[in-house]
């Protein structure tokens, strides 16, 4: 744990802290997801989340529409709202790039 409130743990220190929990849960490897692309497209990502009804969801660069329980009608509404194609296999970043490029 950090020595003071301003200290931040490194990824290795976090993995070390989580190792006993991961082992008990049968997790073989702990991986970290990035948010670099999500941060670049913050405005578009927030519009996508609003369009699918998940305003406060935390997502990573790898998050996909398929991660959310949405029906075909939900996708159609999102497409109409956002003005771009939306499919289950799409990542949020892919949709955001399409939005920015239209």
Model confidence pLDDT, tens digit, residues 28-70 = 776 666 778 888 999 999 999 999 999 888 899 999 999 999 9
Q: What is the reported pLDDT for 68?
A: 95
User: Do 88 and 54 belong together in one domain?
Assistant: yes
User: Do 13 and 49 belong together in one domain?
Assistant: no
User: Do 44 and 81 belong together in one domain?
Assistant: yes
User: Do 43 and 4 belong together in one domain?
Assistant: no
3-state secondary structure 26-93: CCCCCCCCCCHHHHHCHHHHHHHHHHHCCCCCCCCCCCEHHHCCCCHHHHHHHHHHHCCCCCCCCEHH
User: Do 43 and 56 belong together in one domain?
Assistant: yes
Q: What is the reported pLDDT for 9?
A: 73
Tell me: pLDDT of 1 over 70: no
Say if residues 41 and 82 touch (Cβ distance below 8 Å): no
Domains in the chain: how many in total?
A: 2
**Which residue segment(s) compose the domain that 11 sits in?**
1-32
């Amino acid at each position: 744990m950090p020595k003071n409130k301003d200290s931040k743990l490194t990824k290795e220190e976090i993995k070390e802290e989580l190792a006993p929990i991961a082992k008990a849960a049968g997790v073989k490897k702990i991986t970290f997801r990035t948010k670099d692309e999500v941060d670049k497209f913050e405005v578009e990502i927030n519009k996508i989340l609003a369009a699918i009804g998940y305003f406060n969801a935390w997502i990573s660069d790898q998050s996909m529409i398929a991660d959310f329980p949405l029906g075909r009608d939900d996708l159609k509404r999102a497409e109409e709202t956002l003005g771009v194609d939306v499919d289950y296999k799409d990542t949020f970043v892919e949709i955001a790039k399409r939005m920015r490029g239209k």
